[in-house]
Chain A
Amino acid sequence: MNFPILSIITFLPFVAAVIMLMMPADRKTEIRGVALATAVIDLLLAGWMYLQYLLGDMNGYQFIETYNWLPALGISLKFGVDGMSAPLVLLTGIVMVTGVLISWGVYDEEHHISAGIQDRPREFFAFLFLLAGGVFGVFVSLDLFMLFFFYEIAVFPMYLLIAIWGWVKTREYAAMKLTLYLFIGSVVALVGALAMYWTQYTNTGVLSFDMLLMEKAGFSAAFQYAWFLPVFFGFAVLGGIWPFHNWSPDGHVAAPTAVSMFHAGVLMKLGAFAALRVGIMLLPEGAKQWAWLVMAFAGVAVVYGAFIAFVQTDLKYMIGFSSVSHMGLVVLGVSTLNHDGLVGAGVQMFSHGVMTALFFAVTGMIYDRSHTRQIPELGGMMKALPFAGVGFIIGGLVSMGMPGFSGFVAEFPIFMGVWGRQWLVAVIASISIIITAAYIMIAIRRVFFGPMPEKLEGHISPITALDKIAIFTLCSCMVIIGIFPAVMVPMVEKGVENILRLLGGA
């Protein structure tokens, strides 16, 4: 047995959550310290794992760990990563560390600043880490049951995090809406998963939730046609797919900064990833049959999300809808079922995760200081918060798909993939690029340049060193991938090869 790195990555946040809950509530600094230390350790482990995978032969699933959990029903705790999930594990680590940094908190009576989490940080970090552990679990699980197990673990802390620490005006509504959407999606997918489980048993006599075995279960075409849609869309709800995207912008807006980062940065990937892993990889025939429908929905999401984002005046709503648009690109890439599209989708998941995390981090910093997110009420932030401003601009360029940044590396192959399927969709979806450029540019100009409104003068205190570290970390990810795609793409390509093999080389 090798060093069980994946279980450690996954269970460390849970352990940390329990430890934090055991600590006295008023030792806020120590609690934050534990959170940061755990997050950093997790990131280092994830980074080490990533490098090992990248520098190795990148073949198939690696770091596999298997523990028989319930042999009677074929449930095992089986962990492993491939080229698709390794970047996402790394992404989760990054978002976790930056999320903790951002939530560290500054309390400044003089400037009326209460940034980060001041109210009950113990519970906040504990719930956040439960969420993080769940997310890690989904990305590394090779067992369908465990995938659901961790998937649900990732869902419920969201409710508490948003409802308790969220934006007062909409938090209750948004948190409940989000939870119900996600829960509905996941249980619908669960029924499909159970159907797969029993059909596999009927077909092969194997009673197992192991997805590597299920790939070989020989589901009949009719079965796949019938179950693909519930399974795929059940998960894709979390990916924010149109027309089930409604929960997502509301959730973004209501959530506290770090949770928005997690939500957009990682959680939405969870949906897309699970839809890919369970929907496409286990039901390839169904995927082929329904790819046109998925593509149509994703195409609508891409364009519609961009247009709605364009008309928003609330910065967070704008980013929220832009996430719908960008996640639409992920699903669009997935729906092509070809090499280019899937590679692009894989990279876009990472790229978008880092990018929105950055967006929300900067938005949070601005909101904490100005107490408004209305774009027309802001201005001149570049002078007050130059570091954050540059970060936001880089994020904006990524969002626009500007070459030299990760967004381009991701979006270009997606569009190529779509060309390979249906050129019309590529043409229509490309409209979103212009719209995105327009709203991002307008937002940057209004928020960061121009004169600062009088009532904000003197209230905008500089961001902390921790904030800067977070921004720098996120930005460097996007630039490095943009300039050297080789640090991620070959890995994703290997993962895609595996998917294409299941699809029969289609």
Chain B
Amino acid sequence: MFTPVMFASVLPEILILILAVILLCVEPFWKEDQRRNAGWLTAGGLFLIIIVSLLFGQPGEPIAVFGNMIRFDWLGFFFKILFMFAAAATALLLMDHEKAGQRGEAYLLLLASLLGMNLMAVSADLIMLYLAIETASIPLYVLSGFLLADDRSTEAGFKYLLFGTLASTIMLYGFSLIFGFAGTTNIYMLSQLFTSGDISVLLAFSVFALVIVGLGFKLAIVPFQFWAPDVYQGSPTPVAGFLSTASKAAGFAVVIRFFFVAFPSFAPSWTLIFAALAAITMTVGNLLAISQTNIKRLLAYSSIAHAGYALIGVVAFSQLGAASVVFYLAAYIATNLLAFGVVMAFSRITGLEEIQDYAGMSRRNPWLGLMMLAAFLSLAGMPPFGGFVSKVFVFAAGVQAGYTWLVVVGILNSIIGVYYYLNAMKFVYLYRMPNEDEENHPIPLTRPYAIALALLALGVILVGTVFAPWFSWSDAAALNLF
């Protein structure tokens, strides 16, 4: 029966659908040069939705709705807010993209993918989950290959599509195994069935392996990361930013719910797998990032590494662990989008993406330099930016759970991170353009960029300084898992 709670539980999704419909209806009437206004509409609409959801859509006690398909709780809700924030920022960044910004369908695809991610965060059933993942992924395949004239973009789209479908197929096979043995697809009922002893460790391991392959692709963790640099480099920059943040966070939302809820009794085995993956991911991501010369590839490897840090919280398998992952992702989404935003703003004017092209950037636009500084320092884990606090929380969870060795690996990795992030900043602040005439080569920011970057920078700093509200939300999200 349809109750007000059911309505509240999908309120954001309903509103997103309405927004999409409005967009569809309005867009054909706009002239070519007005179509970028779709970005204002999307971003403004999404911010409105965020406000409305916060006012009317807050979950109370966790509750299963729609025939146990959807779980209405803080975990899902907080992730949804994060996704919508990321999508809104991405929409703003898309607006002045030379090729994609003028086309309404880009925003539409973004909204479609957002819808899928929102559902990923709340799915309580494997079937629902799979559908959500596909809903989120397919628009992204299209978006990555959106620039048909650009070989790289086409290659990115195709590559993403191939690997993505392969990975989800493997994951689906894992799901089917679960269903075969448990006879149910409801995540919340699995935990009772899968008590250890009833099922052989070997089988459990193979299930985990299959699911982790699928989700690992989403998270872009080693060894399922190989697509990421190429796809990020080829896709339109805002889309790459969205891929590296919201899409990754959606993967984590699934990981947390799936493993924490369905397999607590197998925790020792899967935490071990994740611990190993986290260590490898951080190390490989950071080491490969050192030698990158392309800024987008650098960010790609750095985002791989960040998935590794976040996994420490998953490995901790505790309330604090889950909360710290969520918090980490909140900080990471703002930070990484900021970084990609700066890259977008820079390459829009200059058309360049190599790190060495950033020489003299802070003289060409001091504000953009500062934004990049904030983003990179946050990625490096320096206060007062979000990256510091979130890393500390994740490490704290790791130490609490006794994974000190993993924390030490994380720390060693963040040192490598400091090295290459600061090395990139060296170009921005220290070096100069070949003929030292930065004054004649300014980098103007259009209004959408100014708003998006300011918003994101504010987010990075707010998460890093006034962290209590965000952490209490993360904590509320984690509380529902145990």
Given the contacts A70-B471, A155-B382, A179-B422, A25 and B366 also touching, CB distance less than 8 Å: yes
Quick check: A183 and B366 within 8 Å, CB to CB? no
Given the contacts A184-B415, A191-B411, A198-B400, A70 and B467 also touching, CB distance less than 8 Å: yes
**A437 contacts partner chain B, Cβ-Cβ < 8 Å:** no
Q: How distant is the Cα of A172 from the Cα of B418 in the complex, in angstroms? A: 14
Given the contacts A73-B471, A176-B419, A123 and B383 also touching, CB distance less than 8 Å: no
Segment touching A, from B8-16, B23-31, B237-245, B388-396 = B388-396
Residues of chain A within 8 A (CB-CB) of B399 are: 191, 194-195, 197-198
Residue of B366, B395, B407, B426 near A123 (CB, 8 A) is: B366
Given the contacts A153-B382, A183-B418, A190 and B395 also touching, CB distance less than 8 Å: yes
Q: Which of A163, A164, A191 has the most CB of B within 10 A?
A: A191
Interface residues of B in 420-468 (CB under 8 A from A): 422-423, 425-426, 429-430, 467-468
Quick check: B370 and A21 within 8 Å, CB to CB? yes
Given the contacts A152-B382, A195-B399, A190 and B404 also touching, CB distance less than 8 Å: no
**B362 contacts partner chain A, Cβ-Cβ < 8 Å:** yes
Quick check: A179 and B418 within 8 Å, CB to CB? yes
**B350 contacts partner chain A, Cβ-Cβ < 8 Å:** no
Quick check: A188 and B411 within 8 Å, CB to CB? yes
In the assembled complex, the CB of A405 is this many whole angstroms from the nearest CB of chain B, namely 37
The number of A-B residue pairs with CB atoms under 8 Å apart is 92
Interface size class of A (residues with CB under 8 A): 35 or more
**B408 contacts partner chain A, Cβ-Cβ < 8 Å:** yes
Residue of A120, A156, A163 near B426 (CB, 8 A) is: A163
Residues of chain A within 8 A (CB-CB) of B418 are: 179-180, 183
Q: How distant is the Cα of A164 from the Cα of B388 in the complex, in angstroms? A: 23
Residues of chain B within 8 A (CB-CB) of A120 are: 363
Interface SS of chain B: helix, strand, loop or mixed?
A: helix
Q: How distant is the Cα of A260 from the Cα of B307 in the complex, in angstroms? A: 38
Residue of B363, B396, B471 near A197 (CB, 8 A) is: B396
Given the contacts A194-B396, A198-B399, A69 and B468 also touching, CB distance less than 8 Å: yes
Quick check: B468 and A191 within 8 Å, CB to CB? no
Fill in one digit per residue for A119-156: 1 if any B CB lies within 8 Å of its CB, else 0: 01011000000000000000000000100111011011
**A72 contacts partner chain B, Cβ-Cβ < 8 Å:** yes
Q: How distant is the Cα of A183 from the Cα of B423 in the complex, in angstroms? A: 15
Q: How distant is the Cα of A122 from the Cα of B382 in the complex, in angstroms? A: 22
Residue of B411, B426, B467, B472 near A190 (CB, 8 A) is: B411
Quick check: A160 and B425 within 8 Å, CB to CB? yes
Residues of chain B within 8 A (CB-CB) of A123 are: 362, 366, 429
Quick check: B382 and A187 within 8 Å, CB to CB? no
Interface SS of chain A: helix, strand, loop or mixed?
A: helix
Q: Which of B320, B363, B383 has the most CB of A within 10 A?
A: B383
In the assembled complex, the CB of A250 is this many whole angstroms from the nearest CB of chain B, namely 16
Q: Which of B411, B423, B472 has the most CB of A within 10 A?
A: B411
Fill in one digit per residue for A155-197: 1 if any B CB lies within 8 Å of its CB, else 0: 1100110011000000110011001100110011011001101
Q: Which of B370, B373, B430 has the most CB of A within 10 A?
A: B430
Residues of chain B within 8 A (CB-CB) of A197 are: 396, 399
Quick check: A152 and B419 within 8 Å, CB to CB? no
Nearest chain A residue, comparing its CB with the CB of B468: A70
**B90 contacts partner chain A, Cβ-Cβ < 8 Å:** no
Interface residues of A in 236-265 (CB under 8 A from B): none
**B102 contacts partner chain A, Cβ-Cβ < 8 Å:** no
In the assembled complex, the CB of A357 is this many whole angstroms from the nearest CB of chain B, namely 25
Quick check: B366 and A190 within 8 Å, CB to CB? no
Residues of chain B within 8 A (CB-CB) of A56 are: none
Residues of chain A within 8 A (CB-CB) of B362 are: 123
Q: How distant is the Cα of A184 from the Cα of B408 in the complex, in angstroms? A: 11
Given the contacts A164-B430, A191-B411, A156 and B377 also touching, CB distance less than 8 Å: yes
Q: How distant is the Cα of A71 from the Cα of B468 in the complex, in angstroms? A: 8
Residues of chain B within 8 A (CB-CB) of A183 are: 414-415, 418
**B44 contacts partner chain A, Cβ-Cβ < 8 Å:** no
Quick check: A187 and B383 within 8 Å, CB to CB? no
In the assembled complex, the CB of B119 is this many whole angstroms from the nearest CB of chain A, namely 29
Residue of B388, B407, B415, B429 near A160 (CB, 8 A) is: B429
Fill in one digit per residue for A58-79: 1 if any B CB lies within 8 Å of its CB, else 0: 0000000000111111000000
Quick check: B384 and A149 within 8 Å, CB to CB? yes
Quick check: A176 and B382 within 8 Å, CB to CB? no
Fill in one digit per residue for B367-404: 1 if any A CB lies within 8 Å of its CB, else 0: 00010010001001111100011001101100110001
Given contacts A123-B362, A171-B430, 7 further A-B contacts (CB under 8 A): A70-B467, A163-B426, A163-B430, A164-B430, A180-B418, A197-B396, A198-B399
Sampled A-B contacts (20; CB under 8 Å): A71-B468, A73-B471, A123-B366, A149-B384, A152-B382, A153-B384, A156-B380, A160-B425, A160-B429, A163-B426, A164-B429, A164-B430, A175-B422, A187-B411, A187-B415, A191-B399, A191-B408, A194-B400, A194-B407, A198-B396
Chain A residues at the B interface, C-beta cutoff of 8 Å: 21, 25, 68-73, 120, 122-123, 145, 148-150, 152-153, 155-156, 159-160, 163-164, 171-172, 175-176, 179-180, 183-184, 187-188, 190-191, 194-195, 197-198
Chain B residues at the A interface, C-beta cutoff of 8 Å: 320, 362-363, 366, 370, 373, 377, 380-384, 388-389, 392-393, 395-396, 399-400, 404, 407-408, 411, 414-415, 418-419, 422-423, 425-426, 429-430, 467-468, 471-472, 475
